[in-house]
Amino acid sequence: MTKLADVHPLPDGIDQAHVLPVAGWRRHASPLGLVIFTIVLALALFGVMGRERTWAASGGGVGLHVHGPEVIRNGEFFELRITVRADEPVDELVIGVEESLWEDVTVNTMIPAAADEASENGEARFTFAELAAGDELLLKIDLQVNPDIIAGNEGAVTVYDGDEELTSADLTITVLP
């Protein structure tokens, strides 16, 4: 049998043992990659890698529902849906989001757009038109978790009628690496 080294000279540091076919266990791919992939897939199926939740509060003649991720991964895009239902008329609907909830989070889109935006008392406040009894406002906010968040954010979403607080919901969003 002719050796490869006899036909073509091998580079420095490479000998005949390096070019022979591998036999036994080493010739197959390691099953470790498949095992790790299966574990990650199982964790995702059971909601460990990301989980959504709805926080609710009511009072002052309004109901508040905030739907978004409770557990999310770093760098992901997500949607926060804030629904305000008026049981009594609201003259000037204002939604306040505590700044600590959005720390190191990029806000991409907000639909519908607020008539006025302000920063007061550690909150981003968004002013909308009046809300008649029985009406509902759905505010959809598209966000992205910035890479420098460690552990997550906490904060409140508060509904106001002008400057008067009507109700509030405390949110906690856990951010995994």
Please tell me the distance from the alpha carbon of residue 155 to that of residue 172, in angstroms, as a whole number: 7
pTM of the model: 0.74
Please tell me the distance from the alpha carbon of residue 157 to that of residue 160, in angstroms, as a whole number: 10
Question: Mind listing the domains of the chain with CATH numbers?
Answer: 51-176 (2.60.40.10)
How confident is the prediction along the chain (177 residues), in pLDDT tens digits per residue? Answer: 555 556 678 888 888 877 777 766 666 677 888 889 899 888 877 766 668 899 999 999 999 999 999 988 888 999 999 999 999 999 999 999 999 999 999 999 999 999 999 999 999 999 999 999 999 999 999 999 998 888 889 999 999 999 999 999 999 999 887
- 92 by DSSP, 3-state: which? coil
- Rg of the chain (C-alpha set): 28
